[in-house]
Homo-oligomer: A and B are copies of this chain.
Amino acid sequence: MEMNVRKKGILKAVINEYILTAEPIGSRTISKKYDLNVSSATIRNEMADLEDLGYLQQPHTSAGRIPSDKGYRFYVDSLIDIEKIPGSFEEMIRKKYLVRKKEVQDIVQVTSRMLSHLTRYTALVASPSSPDYFFQHLQLVPLEGKKVAVIVVISSGLVQHQTVTLQNRPAREELEHISRLINERLQGLPLKNINNEIFRALEKELRDKTLFRELYKSLVEFISEEGTNQEWGKIHLDGATNILEQPEFSDLEKVKVFLKLFEQEDMLKQLLNQIPTEGLKVVIGREVPLEEIRDCSLVVADYSFQDKTVGKMAILGPTRMNYPKVMATVNFMAEVLSKVLREED
């Protein structure tokens, strides 16, 4: 026994219907709502076959069928009608990006908000992660006492800063000397090319080596890839409460697990990183690499900056999510974001 056209049609009908209702689907529902030109008894037989094949499952003997993870997988891979996003939408979305000042963090935030609004699920957007950014400018601003503000500007206007408390009150000239030298040597360099050797070479040329060493630590944090302080890679989350609208989350325990997860950014970061993406990827139920949300699905897409993949966005929802709509939306948003970033440049 194997798949045939009719089985596919029935599977598709069951999944479409289940996505809408969240209730087990019976044979009569299918025969009435979908024009398959066969009786409910025939559909019953086919559904029993689909269950044997692993695409459907039955909560209990006298209930209708619900899709299994395997069923969703087949649906997403072979049965889905890709939804078309009307071109007029792009204009609307672009307007949202214009409202905010165009900083990376804001763009990411707007994106996550829109994704969650459009899909009514939870959106995750990772901000651009250490791509081929260039070093632009370093500024050392003396503050009161022994404190210095270290400000680093990176290509496309990303600014990071930190306050460092030194052993002694630094001389203004020394700070200027250091920052002038660093700016001379590093300006325009890709961040990934800036390594310890460059810093060591710099150190040799400096008068006040102690001061440099004190500042060095925070510079590394900003600049080098291993830096722990990076704004990039941060996860923006939006629409966490949308899951409460889903009937599969009527159980408080489940909600708890979910929301607790959202308070741990590391976990989300790891989650997204564990999913390899080329374009659009759907991860269904058991395939999800995080135990707590094995009864959910993820639709992930990557977005690019200067034609390099720099970040990811994802929708997290129940396995019974509206795949056609979500896939179309995520794909679309990734494209628009990439375009917006390119133009920003």
Interface majority SS (helix, strand, loop, mixed), chain A = mixed
Residue of B nearest to A253 (CB): B244
Alpha-carbon separation in the docked complex, A244 to B252 (Å): 8
The answer to whether B252 touches A240, judged by C-beta atoms less than 8 angstroms apart, is no
Alpha-carbon separation in the docked complex, A156 to B151 (Å): 14
Residue of B nearest to A239 (CB): B263
Stretch at the interface among A62-70, A134-142, A193-201: A134-142
Known A143-B155, A144-B155, A144-B156; judge A163-B244 contact (CB<8 A): no
Interface centre among A101, A136, A147, A240, by most chain B C-beta atoms within 10 angstroms, is: A101
A19 within 8 Å of B (CB atoms):
no
Q: Report chain B residues within 8 Å CB of A260.
A: 241
The answer to whether A143 touches B136, judged by C-beta atoms less than 8 angstroms apart, is yes
Q: Report chain B residues within 8 Å CB of A240.
A: 259, 263
Contacting residue for A157 out of B139, B143, B159, CB 8 A: B143
Alpha-carbon separation in the docked complex, A244 to B257 (Å): 10
Residue of B nearest to A249 (CB): B252
A44 within 8 Å of B (CB atoms):
no
A165 within 8 Å of B (CB atoms):
yes
Interchain Cβ contacts under 8 Å between A and B, 20 examples: A101-B163, A101-B229, A102-B163, A103-B162, A136-B141, A136-B149, A137-B149, A139-B151, A143-B153, A143-B155, A143-B156, A144-B156, A149-B153, A149-B157, A161-B161, A240-B259, A240-B263, A244-B256, A250-B252, A259-B259
